[in-house]
Amino acid sequence: MKMLNIALPKGRLGEKAYGIFEKIGCGCPEIREDSRKLIFENGETGVRYFWAKPSDVAIYVERGAADIGIVGKDILLEYEPDVYELLDLGMGRCRMAVAGPKGRRPDPDRTLRVATKFSRIAREYYESQGREIDIIHLNGSIEIAPLLDLSDVIVDIVETGSTLRENDLEVYGEIVPISARLIANKAGYKFKSGRIEQITAALRAELEK
Amino acid sequence: MRETENVLQGTELLELRLRSLYERYGYRKYKMSRFEEYSLYLENRNFLKSDRIITFTDDRGKLLAMKPDITLSIVKSAAAEGAAERVYYSENIFRAASGSAEMREMRQVGLEHIGPVDLYAESEVLILALESLAAVGRDHIMGITHLGLVTGLLDATELPEREKASISRLIGQKNAHEIAALCTACGVSRELSEKLCALASIYGTFPESRDALRSLVVNKATESAVEELWELYSILQAAGYGDALRVDFSIVNDLSYYNGITFQGFVEGIPESVLSGGRYDNLLQRMGKGGAALGFAVYLDELERLEAAESRPDTDILFIYPENAPAAEIAKAVRELTGRGRVYAATKQPPQMTCRELVEWKGETEK
């Protein structure tokens, strides 16, 4: 049997997603052990897992190093990888939102300075509104930008909103809801469609329980 | 032929096989210039996979482009009315590689069947596409769809173009959950929404998909599309190609250029499609020509990845001669050895060079 390669995002979401794979009988006991191994195989069920940086999962799948993977919708919207999106796992729910200093609204007469990790999402959102913006691409701690007057607003993922509140920021508007998705490589799907469909159906059934 | 196969490797050899295959079916080679007027691509932006094009100005100030596509040039040069061209090409094109911004030169072999297209002509092109995939020598699969079914269902929703384009993009991702959400948000009937989700999810051999396909019929357009798919399947099945075919609606091409059957080929071990083609009557019309056309292209650069896996030694015979040996005698010895394969002559073994056979020449003629 050919191995089915599965890419999981490092972190809480990936671990939670793996839990579901385990429940549907696609587990790999090794993965729970504390080790420095990078790739985990279960010869009996024919699955092979590996952990990747969340934004890289889409690349591994698009390029065929993984047949399927779990990735946030934010990554799919930002990088637009050429992959199948087979299932909404409904976990890791949050939203892509515009936020800024509490009680203030940016002057509509000036170019809006937007700090974000998600340049494409921000650009497309403001293009649809016909608003001229200046994108400031940051790689982390986006919340600081408006506090130091680097930007007027930020476009970022908001989960509970506590980071925003603690820094006197608030959500101005929601762009799109986000959750984890099951994606598949288009060519891999062609040759392993039976198993991928079987796993998709089992995951769907498990999530609906 | 053996001699040719000794020199030509991987994709070069495949290119030769494909050309001879197309010649046998009456297609003629079409040789074209490397450049084309930029305006052709500007007018047909959406036909291209990527809108990044290398341009330059010629000595008379005309803006030219390095060809990112061959089909457009062939269609452009085809006669306006009653054109009947059966051509194949093997050319280099210049476009951004998928998933990257870098421009690349890529080798493409393909064929175009312009002119009257009947059921036989369609099956002929499909057979040639399947034979092209088989020529790679690996497990292969060809997904096939009929855009008439996709447009028929989309038209039935009576949604504005923007929403239809979104649904069509979601079908390409097999993203049934978002199609359902979008349909609910736009007030599309439950029945149609379910059909669209089913369309996105269908994947399987023709016998497996029989019932699912039948259930998608909502109007005349969708009915004739399903019929055409089945007719083609029975022809291909009878010719022994049925097993490699899959019904797959996730192949979506721009509907303003393509119509009718559309297909994509995959080869085991390559994470992207290596062949893509379909019916493009709409393109002909847009370029002011009547009639019908279909064709496909094989992406040889994708197939190059297979070569790396199948390595052969750097040379067949490594010929080592003493430094003071007379050159004339070495020349004679080497010439004799070339009859047995590739020879690399040197005074000592180059580091890391692999060979099938090592011949050390001592200076006296071997008799």
Under an 8 A CB cutoff, do A82 and B270 touch?
Answer: no
Task: Give the whole-angstrom CA distance, residue B92 versus residue B104.
Answer: 10
**What does the pLDDT look like over B75-122, one tens digit per residue?**
888 866 666 789 999 999 888 876 667 888 889 999 999 988 999 999
Q: Give the residue range(s) of CATH 3.40.190.10 domains in chain A.
A: 4-92+179-208, 94-176
Same domain (yes/no): B248, B338: no
Nearest to A9 by CA among A48, A59, A38, A51: A51
Total tally of structural domains belonging to chain B = 2
Nearest to B271 by CA among B242, B312, B311, B299: B299
Within a domain: B366: no
Same domain (yes/no): B146, B248: yes
Considering only the beta carbons, identify the residue of A82, A83, A190 that sits closest to B246: A190
B127 in A contact zone (CB under 8 Å):
no
Task: Give the whole-angstrom CA distance, residue A43 versus residue B79.
Answer: 60
Within a domain: B141: yes
Same domain (yes/no): B148, B236: yes
- Which token pair is A197? 């469909």
pLDDT at A193: 93
Assigned superfamily of A94-176: Periplasmic binding protein-like II (3.40.190.10)
Q: Which residues does A contribute to its contact with B (CB < 8 Å)?
A: 59, 62-65, 81-88, 184-191, 193, 197
**What does the pLDDT look like over B170-204, one tens digit per residue?**
999 999 999 999 999 999 999 999 999 999 999 99
Among B64-73, B81-90, B262-271, whose mean pLDDT is lowest? Answer: B81-90
* Topology adopted by domain A4-92+179-208: D-Maltodextrin-Binding Protein; domain 2 (3.40.190)
Q: Which domain holds residue B337?
A: 315-360
Within a domain: B217: yes
- Which token pair is A129? 């509104």
Burial degree of B94 (CB within 10 A; 0-12, 13-18, 19+): middle
Alpha-helix residue ranges (DSSP H) falling in chain A: 12-23, 54-62, 73-79, 119-129, 144-147, 162-166, 186-208
Same domain (yes/no): B215, B336: no
The strands making up A68-72's β-sheet, listed across from edge to edge, are A39-42, A47-52, A4-9, A68-72, A180-184, A84-88
Q: What is the ipTM of this complex?
A: 0.87
User: Which of B270, B301, B330 corresponds to the end of one domain?
Assistant: B270
Same domain (yes/no): B243, B356: no
What CATH number is associated with residue B244? 3.30.930.10
pLDDT category, B364, cuts 50, 70, 90?
low
Considering only the beta carbons, identify the residue of B98, B99, B141 that sits closest to A190: B141
